[in-house]
Amino acid sequence: MLNYVLKRALMALPVMLAAATLVFLLIHSIPGDPVDLILGEQAMQVDREELSQELGLDRPLFSQYGAFLAGLSSGDWGRSLFDNRPVLSHIREHAGATIVLAVCAMFVAVAIAIPAGVFAAVRKGGFLDQAAMVASLVGISVPNFWLGPVLILVFAVELGWLPISGRESWASLILPAFTLGFGLSAMLSRLTRASMIDELGRGYVTTARAKGLSERAVILKHAFRNALNPVITIVGLEVGSLLAGAIITERIFNWPGIGSLLMDSINRRDYPLVQGCILVIAFAYVVVNAVTDCVYRFVDPRVKI
């Protein structure tokens, strides 16, 4: 097991390196001079040279790349052009809010999807099954940048039950978490259903029924446990997409996470901070995927790399 964890961690490294390289190349392939983009075209020559030096743009590309990677690995991710504070301290301030949001959204998604998927599989072909599956297709098609404003209108404006935006209390977490988790719940319920139907058709289920177990025990103790494996994998993969989706949700609800930070820094053309936010989301995605693989291996020892 320890061997596997080490091997999986080593596999994640080249992917992170590739992600960092991609972001580096993106910044250096911007059409036009980044200094022009940041300062505007009428800037003074002195200011331009100073900024160009500060960003290291006057050095050859390869040495810039080396310095970039060295900085990343030693924890020096550069400084914000806006307030000159280290990029990492900005990120640290905002990371907590995004993690809380993503975890709660995942909880919402799983809490809706697993009961719905299991129920639909047990009643396969019935009216409720079909209704649930059409509902989930509709759910996949709802853009979260539309669902969010609609939820605000209904629950915050009309009913006045929940705050409109910001992060004051736990109540302000409910609408963002639901907005972010909803699309995922639709997808997960389809997956749970398919996996459950697959397991219910297997021999061991017939055996369990034949030895006189209650239908409840057959479904929950036998089929459900095995049906959960593919669901765990997808849940792990989707944590990363939730982090990316949080960019939109945070913007709608003014939630002070990495996504809001990213959008603010894009609007301010604060490229070091933009780069930091993108990298931190990408790295989190890679790490979560690696952890999921390890968990999956722990749950189902048959899995090999």
Catalog residues that contact other proteins under the rule CB under 8 A. Answer: 15, 18-19, 22-23, 26-27, 29-31, 134, 137-138, 140-143, 145-146, 149-150, 152-153, 157, 240-241, 243-245, 247-248, 251-252, 262-263, 266-267, 271, 274, 278, 281-282, 285-286, 289
Please report, as a single letter, which amino acid is at residue 48: R
To other proteins, the closest distance from the beta carbon of 123 in angstroms equals 19
Q: How far is the CB of 157 from other proteins (least distance, A)?
A: 6
Q: How far is the CB of 191 from other proteins (least distance, A)?
A: 15
81, 68 in Cβ contact below 8 A?
A: no
Q: Kindly report the number of other CB atoms within 10 A of residue 122's CB atom.
A: 17
Q: Distance of CA 201 to CAs 125, 128, 195, 268, Å?
A: 14, 20, 10, 57
Q: Tell me how far CA of residue 2 lies from CA of 207, 295, 297, in angstroms.
A: 36, 12, 11
Taking CA atoms, 9 is separated from 75, 87, 132, 245, in Å, by 19, 25, 39, 25
Query: CB neighbours (10 Å) of residue 21?
Result: 13
Nearer to other proteins, 14 or 212 (CB): 14
Nearer to other proteins, 56 or 115 (CB): 56
Shortest Å, Cβ 302 to other proteins: 22
DSSP of 45-59: HHHHHHHHHHTTTTS
Which residues are CB-neighbours of 164 under 8 A, at least 6 positions away?
152, 156, 157
Q: Using the minimum distance from each CB to other proteins, give the nearer residue, 188 or 218.
A: 188
Closest CB to other proteins among residues 178, 285:
285
Q: How far is the CB of 129 from other proteins (least distance, A)?
A: 14
Shortest spacing between CB 209 and other proteins, in angstroms? 30
Nearer Cβ to other proteins, position 192 or 275?
A: 275
| CA-to-CA dists, residue 292 to 99, 237, 262, 288, angstroms | 16, 8, 26, 6
Residue 128 or 157: the one with the smaller Cβ distance to other proteins is: 157
